[in-house]
Chains A and B, each alone.
Chain A
Amino acid sequence: MTIPAPLDKNELAAMIARDIPAGSYVNLGIGQPTLVADHLKPEAEVVLHTENGMLGMGAAAVGDEVDQDLINAGKIPVTELAGASYFHHADSFAMMRGGHLDVCVLGAFQVSRCGDLANWHTGAPDAIPAVGGAMDLAIGAKNVFVMMSLFTKDGTAKLVPECTYPLTGLGCVSRIYTHHAIFDIDAAAGAVRVRETFGISMSELRSRVTVELA
């Protein structure tokens, strides 16, 4: 399949949804990763986990559905699907840290060729640090997918030899989905393989990303 242009955010979310196996237990991070939910097919019966204590989370609540006791990790009112369950925070994080979640999708500032993730803190001196569940998800889910733009606004690649931002987790990312390409990471080998490209040639990709790409 040749796609001549970079993906937009919805096409990117659809690509990620396509790669989530039916029946998976999945946590979608705050922000763009939540878009993935819109592209999951109901018949796939993917179960969404939200770290504030729910499995079987449904779509955002509208109108009369809004209930302030039923929110997602981004504190947005959501709905519950048939078969949903509620649990307290220690159980919720046992699901992550105990390796029970199949996939999580997280945003990132940077990912290294060894799968190191930086997504919680820019390190700016005036920034107020806030980590939430990011570190627990990073080390806990069986597969950590990153959804991000490949380049910053000034064109610098966010797939890097080594992260310069403060780390969230070591060697945890297995795949990166970007608008320009999808990458598989072999964390142990520090090797990055390009799965697909969108509107960018391999030679341009190699010239703009300072990591060796197979």
Chain B
Amino acid sequence: MSRTTICKSAAEAVAGIEDGATVLVGGFGMAGMPIRLIDALIDQGATDLTIVSNNAGNGDTGLAALLAAGRVKKVICSFPRQTDSYVFDGLYRDGKVALEVVPQGNLAERMRAAGAGIGAFFCPTGVGTPLAEGKELRTIDGRDYVLEFPIRGDVALIGAHIGDRAGNLVYRKTARNFGPVMATAAALTVAEVSRVVDIGDIDPEVVVTPGIFVDRIFEVTR
């Protein structure tokens, strides 16, 4: 019997997320954004959340709605400012949400490190910039590097295309983005998919995220 749970509702998929949790949220803009799971998280009520995502919400839906509901104390992201990030912009300017800006490659690699059991890594990105201030530097073979630490999630909420009952996932086009990395980096990984299929229906050669990284799957019915 698969350890991965196929959830009957979005509420079941986000059950147990606690106040103060660090939640990794997939998506780049709206592509790959697990909208139904975020809506369910708003209904579920967890608050004081730290959200790790590439952006800080678009328009009034998804992350923006979670922010507007006042559930987020901190956002760790690479690119909060967009043409339609007015919800975040307002909260940030009013001092109601903290922000840690992380270069996009570090955001991905810090979660990859968490998922892979890496304690920290030296990285050339950001050397000599304000984002490296206060961080340990080392010169290796003549090049300067900054020490970066993993970002672990209590929960990852990601979007994928198809999942099977064993938790294996495939993605669709650029909606893949942070999903496979976040799936490895959280204690509890929940995937919102367009379709759930039986075990054996996904060719093992095309599985992108193996089921070992996926705890719960929720199929979005249209």
Contact B104 A88 (CB under 8 A): no
Total B residues in contact with A, Cβ cutoff 8 Å: 47
Q: Which of B110-142 contact A (CB under 8 A)?
A: 111-112, 123-131
> With A93-B104, A128-B99, A170-B128 in contact, do A50 and B174 touch (Cβ < 8 Å)?
yes
Contact A128 B80 (CB under 8 A): yes
Contact residues in A for B179 (Cβ distance below 8 Å): 88
Min CB–CB distance B127 → chain A (angstroms): 6
Contact residues in B for A166 (Cβ distance below 8 Å): 129-130
Contact residues in A for B101 (Cβ distance below 8 Å): 129-131
Min CB–CB distance A139 → chain B (angstroms): 5
A23 within 8 A of B: no
Q: Which of A100-137 contact B (CB under 8 A)?
A: 116, 121, 126, 128-136
User: How long is the Cα–Cα vector from A130 to B79 in the complex, in angstroms?
Assistant: 4
Contact residues in A for B130 (Cβ distance below 8 Å): 121, 166-167
User: How long is the Cα–Cα vector from A188 to B28 in the complex, in angstroms?
Assistant: 37
Contact residues in A for B127 (Cβ distance below 8 Å): 139, 169-170
Min CB–CB distance A170 → chain B (angstroms): 4
Min CB–CB distance A58 → chain B (angstroms): 12
Contact of B31 among A52, A90, A93, A140 (CB under 8 A): A52
Contact B173 A70 (CB under 8 A): yes
Contact of B28 among A52, A80, A93, A140 (CB under 8 A): A52
Name which of A72, A166, A168 has the most chain B CB atoms within 10 A of its CB. A168
Contact B129 A71 (CB under 8 A): no
Contact of A136 among B79, B80, B81, B103 (CB under 8 A): B103
B62 within 8 A of A: no
Min CB–CB distance B213 → chain A (angstroms): 12
A29 within 8 A of B: no
Contact of B174 among A86, A97, A136, A167 (CB under 8 A): A86
> What 1/0 mask marks residues of chain B from 36 to 70 whose CB sits below 8 Å from any chain A CB?
00000000000000000010000000000000000
Contact B32 A131 (CB under 8 A): no
Smallest CB-CB A-B distances: 3 pairs: A93-B105, A136-B105, A89-B108
Cross-chain pairs A/B with CB under 8 angstroms, 27 sampled = A53-B174, A53-B177, A67-B173, A70-B173, A71-B31, A75-B28, A88-B108, A88-B177, A88-B181, A89-B28, A89-B104, A89-B108, A93-B109, A97-B123, A128-B92, A128-B99, A130-B101, A136-B106, A139-B124, A139-B127, A140-B105, A140-B124, A166-B130, A167-B128, A167-B130, A170-B127, A170-B128
